[in-house]
Amino acid sequence: MMRITYKQICRMCKQNYVIVSSKQDYITCYDCQKKDLGGKIKDPEMKKMFDLPESYYKENLFLRSIKLNYLRCGSLTDKQIEAFKKTAKYLKESETKK
C-alpha cells in the first residue's frame, strides 16, 4: 500500500514547500523550525535517540514534530518513542537501499 503524498506551502515563510502525507493543521518547513529544533537535551538516553542526521529531520515532518514535543514538554509517551524509533529505522533502511 502506497501513501499519497503532496506538497503544501509553508505557513510561516510562504516560500518553501513541505511534503505532506496526511491532513495536518499547521505545516512549517525545516528552515522555519530549525531554531526550535536546536534546544538542549539533558537526558542521555533521549540525546542518543535524537542524534540523527540532519537530512532525516529535513525530509520528515513527523520526526521534527516528536523532537519539538520533547523539547517543549520534557518527556514523551512510550508510543511516541516507539513511533520515532520505527520511523528513524525506516529512513535508515531506505537510505541504505538507495
pLDDT digits (tens, 9 = 90+) for 55-98: 999 888 889 989 999 999 999 999 999 999 999 999 999 888 76
Average pLDDT across the chain, whole number: 88
CB 58 within 8 A of CB 30: yes
69-77 CB contacts, 8 Å cutoff, 24+ apart: 70/41, 70/46, 71/36, 71/37, 71/39, 71/41, 76/46
Task: Please tell me the predicted confidence (pLDDT) of residue 2.
Answer: 61
Tell me which DSSP letter residue 8 carries: E
C-alpha cell recorded at residue 54: 540532519
Q: How many residues does the chain have?
A: 98
pLDDT at 88: 92
With b for 16 or more beta-carbon neighbours within 10 A and e for fewer, the 31-53 pattern comes to ebbeeeeeeebeeeebeebbebe
Residue 41 has pLDDT above 80, yes or no: yes
Average pLDDT over residues 2-23: 83
Residue 1 has pLDDT above 70, yes or no: no
Output the pTM of the full model. Answer: 0.81
